[in-house]
Amino acid sequence: MRRRLGAAAMAVMIVVLVLGAYVVPGFVIRTTASIAGPPFLTTIDGRAVALVGYDDDGMPGLRPGGLSSGVLAIDVATGDTVWDAKLPDATWEPVVVAAGERYVYVRHTFGVAIIELDDGDTVARDEDVDGLGDEVPHGRWDNYVYDPRREAVLFATDEGETRQFPLDEVAAVAADDATQDTWGCQLGREGGAAPITYDVTRAVTETRDVGLVPPDGTPAGLATTRLHVVEDGVRRELSPVDFHDAGLVQEVVPRLPPERACAGVDWPYDIVEPGEEAVLTTAGLAGGHVVVQSSAGPNDEESRRLTVVDVRTGAITATLDVRGGVAVASTAPSGEVVLVVEADWEGPFGSPGGPWPTDHVVIVGTDGAVRDIVVAEKGWFGL
């Protein structure tokens, strides 16, 4: 009798554990999102919004469907979700490259999708889009590129022709000669555009008056620094906090090719000097803050910490521990800094969400406070 009761109890325990694994967020139902590119900043109904393309790689639990991708619209002032829209199947590694008053243009691995700005509904994708050529051009990092001077998204067809989507148009048209001469050597498979690295930090701001400096007496080889500021030609310590293996987070903006720079240029199309492919500005500095990315501790080589510092007072306004640090930073016209970071996530009641990191969106407000937004977060039953 006892043996039967023990076996029954064991069977019930196994059933509970298996079912629980598909109910409670954790190792089976997990949040694992990846964000491939920088957010695109625009407005919806007068609100400043960050549009973020993402892949949802987490196991869905009992939720129907499998892996997916989508675009998330976030109010940068509040951190609230304006909308979160799924993209059609096989729209992997989506990156929002432009938005007009009505439509949003999303580059992905296999082509391009056009969605509604108001709610994220898909209007057309790939073969359904007119004007792409005989074959849908793949969405490489150097194709489907926004040129704000022309208010158009530019791409190269498989035949090498430069074409464009004027903002708020759903059909691509041929580019004029001036556009061809400006972009023809920079787009698509044969383009000469240099890849851009967004996860950049540096020790000193572009204004040269705020920087990370080793404290007096720091042993050689020890990567410990403190924030200093230069006022009236005199350097002083801004904050007594030690940072380890630190740098100031930078906003990286690719340079546009000069007008007609491709005309008569031969391979390898060196129209921009090496190292000059992008403009770097210190994230948050224009609003009176800097974001210091550092190791979480002097002996921690894996986890990173973000510290927001007021450059007027030296006060620390926020800290946030993240797994892999900042992937990209963008500044909204209203002054908020939008960061994409790799971090951990928590299950119910603060329990560990599993060993897999996931990409978050972190918004640094104009007051220096931070909002940490988990993308594609899974809840109970994977919902």
Going from N- to C-terminal start, the domains of the chain cover 195-343
Q: C-alpha angle 267/269/271, rounded to 5°?
A: 160
CA-nearest of 368, 377, 318, 367 to 345 is: 377
Query: Is the pLDDT confidence value at 16 over 70?
Result: no
Give the Cα separation of 215 and 224 in Å (integer).
8
More confident call, 67 vs 2: 67
> What integer best gives the mean pLDDT of the chain?
88
Q: What percentage of the chain exceeds 70 in pLDDT?
A: 85
- Summarised one tens digit per residue, pLDDT across range 284-310 is 999 999 999 999 888 887 889 999 999
| Residue recorded with tokens 């989507």 | 165
How long is the chain? 383
Output the 3-class SS for 293-338: EEECCCCCCCCEEEEEEECCCCCEEEEEEECCEEEEEEECCCCCEE
Confidence of residue 257 (pLDDT cuts 50, 70, 90): very high
Calculate mean pLDDT across residues 128-156: 94
Residue 27: pLDDT band by 50, 70, 90 thresholds?
Answer: low
